[in-house]
Structure 1
Amino acid sequence: MSEHAQPKRSTLDRFLSGLSEYIFQTKLGVADVQLVEYISELLLRFTRVDAIQRVRRDDGRPATEIFQLMCEAERRIGTARRDVHRHIGDVTLFRSGMYPESVRGHARGSADQLLDYFHQGKRSYKIASTIEADQDRPPCELLDRLSDQFELCAYGLREIRRAWEESDPSDELIIS
């Protein structure tokens, strides 16, 4: 493989990328390619449950609630803090966009029942955007735009969900 050759992308990756581009660029008029790529990569990453539950608490169990993740972020410094805040932004964006019904009805006794997901997601992306990191991580400017455009991104994710829920099963949505 040459130095400039693109890695082979999975069918799921191509599907999510194409659907994200269609919804954000065509339906919503979002011309920010970097933002749309981030959204499609977020969808692909979160097809794996372990990606959603990657942050661990002191006892080794996954931090599954936003409140727990916020506590973990406060315990960390530098890029580790940035990564947890970015993860909070990602999880709140994913849940509020793809599964808004799960955000509205937190179980009684859950620390998350009192949280405003939009506020926490925007706040976490904003905090993450202020902590410099290496080139392997999303740039600060992108995280800042995710904070500023959080509601639009969540709406776009809801539209992505609607598009695949309303698609005709006989449609050839995925091309090999």
Structure 2
Amino acid sequence: MLRRSRGSTSDVFEWPELDEQAACSLCYTSGTTGNPKGVLYSHRSTVLHTYATLIPDAMNISSGDVMLPIVPMFHVNAWGNPYACPVAGAKMVMPGNKMGDGPTLAALINEEGVTMSAGVPTVWLNLLAHLRDSGERVGVADPRRGGWLGVSALGHGRV
């Protein structure tokens, strides 16, 4: 997408004209309810999702936040955090391939001063098991902000 006009020596980026309904990204589901399915996101849907993530009654991401998205990009584009955080000026901490590892997540939360996170129940259960077994604690600057939990049925013993 980055290109110069033919014959131009300018370093100024030439923005392309794109239809807002044009494809922006294609993510595949994990196939938990059948075969994996491709989900096509438009530029418009991605921008609207980003704006919606920033509003106070949604995730309310702001410049003072440190976000740890513990969901991969194929999972609803990591719930839009890789787009919303730069717009808000929030810091993002990327867990890499250790996103389900309790000790690594605890260390990241404490070392980076994480104020918000988003993940699925399996990830949180791994973190809770680590905290229970190790006696370690994680500090959250504002516990009202904490984490966002993906939808999944939890047994009564886990609630």
TM bracket, shorter-chain basis: 0.3 to 0.5
The structure where helix makes up a greater share of residues is 1
Which has the higher relative contact order, 1 or 2, with Cα contacts under 8 A spaced 6 or more apart?
Answer: 1
TM-score when scaled to structure 2? 0.34
Give the strand-richer structure, 1 or 2: 2
